Each structure stands twice: as structure tokens, then as C-alpha cells.
Amino acid sequence: MKLIIDKLTKRYGNGVMALNDVSLTIDKGMFGLLGPNGAGKSSLMRTLATLQDADSGTVALGDIDVLNEKEKVRKVLGYLPQEFGVYPRTSAFDLLDYLAVIKGFSNRSERKDMVLGLLSKVNLYEHRKKSVSSFSGGMRQRFGIAQSLLGNPKLVIVDEPTAGLDPGERNRFYNILSEIGENVIVILSTHIVQDVRELCTHMAIMDKGRVLFSGSTDDALGQIKGKVWEKRISKEDLQQYQGGYKVISNKLVGGMPLIHVFSDDQMNGDFVPAEENLEDVFFAKLNDLI
């Protein structure tokens, strides 16, 4: 099953063009949707999750017309929103069981098996009797994944899932997500390059409502291969370099700026080839350098 998004457009009442002619084809596996805040990622995710309408364009999930057959989509959709809202003082088991009832699972013993299976999948089995309101951020995210997987969805959408997680929690979350991606389309929307680099084989970069790149992560890296150069400079010189070169990024390493510069031609003057990374692709695309 494929998800085919064709020429999707959405303009809000305030005039913001959140989706501007967005076309993407997404296969099963983990797909990273990378973009800075305001790029239009959530607008796209909410549209795919049937929570908001587009102005024009089409979306097909297999033979389902996503924009017009919302009930059919909801049967095969798992959604982990950015904000999960209120966390009731209910145990993890009871809450997930309740959500399963809402999803239409009426057989109590089958439901119990499914709920316990999901809680162990996301490593919350031993916490099943604890109140979800007492969970840490990472545990809540894992609970969110469990609820998104109720009923074996074909399409799972996760919106900014690792924001606010510490490194250990983020790793646990990565491991769970990467297991899910084997037979399902998982779309991971994020502004964190590392999320995409670690998890996704395919990706798109969005900014200001437009798709700037779509393809495999290897293809993305291929676009800058051999064209990124780095140099340690002093803080005082930073402005001068930014004026004279196509600076992709500058970050402090040991208190000194390390700049990455884009150039088709061999560079000298103490510039050395930088190992290409997805962050450089991201910034080069956003700054219209490639």
C-alpha cells in the first residue's frame, strides 16, 4: 500500500499558505518529514489524519480517497499528535482498554490481549497499573505510540515525537518506532535532523508550505557529497566569512566557531572536506544553496 499525495494546497483564514502544491509518494517503512517550525508539517499531518480539510489536491492511501472517505481512513490510521491533551488519572491499562473500546473492539478478552501486548511492546507492561498522569514525558510518548497502534493501522503518523525527551528516552522511543516501520507506512514529522537520520530510509524536506526535497536519505546526502568544506575560525572573523562564502552552518566546537561552507569547487585556505551529513543538506536546502 502506498500513500500518494498530489498537489495538496491549504490556505488558512489569515492568508498563510501552509501547504503549497505538496506532492509526495510514500511507501511502507519510516518516512521522515523534516522542516523548521512553521514549515507546514502539522498542517499536512492533520490533513492526512482527516482532522482538517485541504483546499485542493488529492490524497490516496491504496484505494482509499483520503480527503473524501474519512471513516475508511480512520479505520486504518494511527495518530500520535504533538500534544496529547489531558492525561486522566486512570491506569495505563484502563485508559488503553477504554481507547480500544472507542475504536470498536467489543470482545473483552481479545481486547485485553491486544492492550497487554501493546503495553509490553512499548515497555510499559510493568507500569500498566500506574496512572498515566504520573508518567514521565518519555513514558507518555510510549503510551501515545501504544494507542496509535490499536487495531493494527496501515498508516501511522507521529508529529514531533521526540521534542522534550532526554537522550535515554529518545533512544527507547527510536527503538520502538523502528520496529513498527517494517510493515506499515510510518510518517515521522520533526524539526530534529537526528530523528530522521537515525530512523528513516526516505524523507522530505519542507519549508514555507513547499516540498524542497523528497527521496532517499542517501540521495539527500548525495546532493552535497564532496561540496561541503569546514574550517575552524575565530569568533571575530565569523561575519566576514558569512559575507564572503556560502556558509551552511556555524556551530561552536570547544568554544570556537566551526563553519561548514558549500562550494562546488575545491577550496583552499585551510578549508578541509567535511563529512557530509543530513543537517548540511537541510540547511543548504533551506538557504537555497542546492
Residues that bind ligand ADP (CB under 6 A): 12, 14, 16, 18, 35, 37-43
Please state the closest distance from residue 33 (CB atom) to ligand ADP, in A. Answer: 9
Q: Is 42 or 214 the residue whose CB approaches ligand ADP more closely?
A: 42
User: Which residue has cell 523534516?
Assistant: 34
Q: How far is the CB of 286 from ligand ADP (least distance, A)?
A: 12
Grid coordinates of 57: 489536491
**Minimal CA–CA distance to 202: which of 185, 216, 190, 188?**
216
In sign, the C-alpha dihedral spanning 64, 68, 72, 74 is: positive
CB-CB neighbours of 167 under 10 Å: 8
Nearest-approach distance from CB 37 to ligand ADP, in angstroms: 4
How far is it, in rounded angstroms, from Cα 42 to Cα 54?
13
Other CB atoms within a 10 A radius of the CB of residue 183 amount to 11
Nearer to ligand ADP, 181 or 209 (CB): 209
- Return the DSSP state at 206: E
Residues 6+ apart with CB under 8 A from 76: 61, 64, 153, 154, 155
Least Å distance, CB 214 to ligand ADP, is 16
Nearer CB in complex with ligand ADP: 43/147? 43
Cβ closest to ligand ADP, residue 16 vs residue 256: 16
Nearest approach in angstroms of CB 190 to ligand ADP is 9
Residue 21 near residue 56 (C-beta atoms within 8 A): no
Closest to ligand ADP by CB, 41 vs 111, is 41
Q: How far is the CB of 17 from ligand ADP (least distance, A)?
A: 8
156 class by beta-carbon count within 10 Å (0-12 exposed, 13-18 middle, 19+ buried): buried
